[in-house]
Amino acid sequence: MLLKAATVVAVIALVAVGYFLWSHRRAIDEAESAWATIAAAAQQQAGAAVFDPAMVADLPEVAQRYFLHAIAPGTPLRTTVTLRMEGQFLLGDRDSNQPYAMVARQILAPPDAFVWLPVMRSGVLTITGSDGSLDGKAWMQFWINSLVPVVNAQSTPDLVRSAQFRSAMESIWVPAALLPRDGIAWQAGGADKAIVTISTFENPIVLELTLDETGALTEVVGLRWSDANPEKTFRLQPFGGTIEAEGSFEGYTIPTMVKVGNLFGTDGFLPFFQAEIVEAKYL
């Protein structure tokens, strides 16, 4: 009888393991499919337009400074990028957090489409999954060692709004997506600060970019719709961080070392996302 019971338990355990492995694989495949959809759309939209400094001549000086630094004259205007990054991801809060070594790849098509596929390791633990937004839907799905689901957030209005902010802020990796047009407005916020308003969403997103004298970004911050707070309640709160290095790829000069997180500028700030961009390809 004991042997039979043990056999039943073993079978149930194997079925459970198989189910979680299948769930993980299916979720990764769905993220890869979303990636392919974004890439295909970029190929269809690619045109012959190139950057001309005259395009930004009517903007405030600080905004001109940004674009003239970020986009070389004659660069094809691409608004989708694939990135490879590595660095560190801190899970927890300012008082208690666990660092994970991170490598990731991402496709990004602001203002609201992206797929981020990381691998984060700490000791024997490996976290994989995806974070993404496409066609008005958003998701966050992550597993430990491909078996234990730790995050399974499907599309809700709160999650979509939060994901829209992420994509909008990460436009700093796709400078052509920030060129002035319907839904993108620039104004000066000071000698070295530019205010970018992205009004293509129901809830407009406002970003504050701090530049140095050359036009290089040094800081980016905005109000993100987030529940990353002690109350676990969705609300607008500061999100942002610092840029510590930059590099040039295919005519674009973009931040290559960033440290960003929730509650930027407050005592609760933790730069949980610390990444170095090692490759950027524009589609």
Arithmetic mean of pLDDT over the chain: 93
pLDDT of residue 105: 98
The mean pLDDT value for 165-183 works out to 96
pLDDT of residue 93: 87
- How far is the C-alpha of 240 from the C-alpha of 264, rounded, in Å? 5
- Tally of residues, the chain: 283
User: 3-state SS of the chain?
Assistant: CHHHHHHHHHHHHHHHHHHHHHHHHHHHHHHHHHHHHHHHHHHHHCCCCECCHHHHCCCCHHHHHHHHHHECCCCECCCCEEEEEEEEEEEECCCCEEEEEEEEEEEEECCCEEEEEEEEEECCEEEEEEEEEECCEEEEEEEECCCEEEEEECCCHHHHHHHHHHHHHHHHHCHHHHCCECCEEEEEEECCEEEEEECCCCCCEEEEEEECCCCCEEEEEEEEEECCCCCCCCEEEEEEEEEEEEEEECCEEEEEEEEEEECCCCCCCCCCEEEEEEEEEEC
Residue 12 pLDDT exceeds 70: no
Confidence of residue 18 (pLDDT cuts 50, 70, 90): low
**Inter-CA distances, 272 with 2, 221, 227, Å:** 49, 15, 15
Confidence of residue 9 (pLDDT cuts 50, 70, 90): very low
| pTM of the full structure | 0.92
20/157: higher pLDDT: 157
Residue 265 pLDDT exceeds 90: yes
The mean pLDDT value for 15-36 works out to 81
The mean pLDDT value for 141-159 works out to 93
Residue 28 pLDDT exceeds 60: yes
Residue 19 pLDDT exceeds 70: no
Residue 23 pLDDT exceeds 90: no
Residue 8 pLDDT exceeds 90: no
Confidence of residue 95 (pLDDT cuts 50, 70, 90): confident
Name the residue among 208, 96, 192, 98 with its Cα closest to residue 150.
Answer: 98
CA dihedral 70, 72, 76, 77 (to 10 degrees): 30
Residue 15 pLDDT exceeds 90: no
Residue 13 pLDDT exceeds 50: no
- How far is the C-alpha of 2 from the C-alpha of 65, rounded, in Å? 76
The mean pLDDT value for 264-282 works out to 96
Residue 162 pLDDT exceeds 80: yes
User: 3-state SS of 48-93?
Assistant: CCECCHHHHCCCCHHHHHHHHHHECCCCECCCCEEEEEEEEEEEEC
Proportion of the chain above pLDDT 70, given as a percent: 92
Residue 278 pLDDT exceeds 70: yes
Cα atoms in the Cβ-side hemisphere of radius 13 Å centred on 34:
26
Residue 238 pLDDT exceeds 80: yes
* φ, ψ (nearest 5 deg) of residue 127: -105, 125
**Domains observed in the chain:** 2-282 (2.50.20)
Q: How many C-beta atoms lie closer than 10 Å to residue 129's C-beta?
A: 24
Please write the tens of the pLDDT for every residue from 133-149: 999 999 999 999 999 99
Please write the tens of the pLDDT for every residue from 112-122: 999 999 999 99
pLDDT of residue 17: 57
Residue 1 pLDDT exceeds 90: no
